[in-house]
Amino acid sequence: MTLKKDEAIKNILVDYEKLANLVLGQLDEVKKLISSGLLQFEAEQLESIKKNERKINKLEVKLSEEVINSIVLYQPVASELRKLIACYRIIISLERMGDLAITIIKLMKKIETQEVYGSLSGFLSKMMDLSVDMARRSMLSFINQDMELAMWTLKAEPLVDEFNHKMLKKVAERANLVSEDKIILISFINIKELAAAIERIADHSANIAEASYYSSEGKDIRHKRI
> pLDDT tens digit string along 45-69?
889 999 999 999 999 999 999 999 9
**What is the reported pLDDT for 172?**
62
**What is the reported pLDDT for 81?**
94
**What is the reported pLDDT for 100?**
97
Q: Side chain identity at 188, as an amino acid letter?
A: F
Do residues 205 and 135 lie in contact, with contact meaning Cβ atoms separated by under 8 Å? yes
Angle at 212 between CA 206 and CA 217, to 5 degrees: 125
Q: Is residue 43 classed as helix, strand or coil in its secondary structure?
A: helix
Question: What distance in Å separates the CA atoms of residue 176 and residue 187, rounded to the nearest whole number?
Answer: 13
Instruction: Give the pLDDT band (50/70/90) at residue 1.
Output: low
Q: Is 145 exposed, middle or buried (0-12, 13-18, 19+ CB in 10 A)?
A: middle
Give the residue with greater pLDDT, 162 vs 209. 209
Give the residue with greater pLDDT, 220 vs 178. 220
**Contacting residues for 45 by C-beta, under 8 A, at least 6 apart:** 29, 33
Question: Which parts of 36-77 fold into alpha helices (H)?
Answer: 43-74
* pLDDT above 90 for 120: no
Measured between its terminal Cα atoms, the distance across the chain in Å is 40
- Averaged pLDDT, 118-125: 88
Question: What distance in Å separates the CA atoms of residue 98 and residue 72, rounded to the nearest whole number?
Answer: 28
Angle at 111 between CA 109 and CA 116, to 5 degrees: 140
**What are the counts of helices (DSSP H) followed by strands (DSSP E) for the chain?**
6, 0
Q: pLDDT digits over 135-182, tens only?
A: 999 999 999 999 999 999 989 888 887 877 777 677 666 656 555 576
* pLDDT above 80 for 198: yes
Q: What CATH topology corresponds to 2-217?
A: Methane Monooxygenase Hydroxylase; Chain G, domain 1 (1.20.58)
Least confident range from 64-73, 92-101, 109-118: namely: 109-118
Question: What distance in Å separates the CA atoms of residue 212 and residue 142, rounded to the nearest whole number?
Answer: 5
**What is the reported pLDDT for 175?**
59
**What is the reported pLDDT for 118?**
87
**What is the reported pLDDT for 177?**
55
**What is the reported pLDDT for 69?**
95
Instruction: Sketch the domain layout of the chain as residue ranges.
Output: 2-217
Per-state percent for the chain, helix, strand, coil, to nearest 5 = 85, 0, 15
Angle at 82 between CA 81 and CA 87, to 5 degrees: 100
Q: Side chain identity at 199, as an amino acid letter?
A: E
**What percent of the chain shows pLDDT beyond 90?**
65
Q: What is the DSSP letter of 178?
A: S
- Averaged pLDDT, 187-209: 92
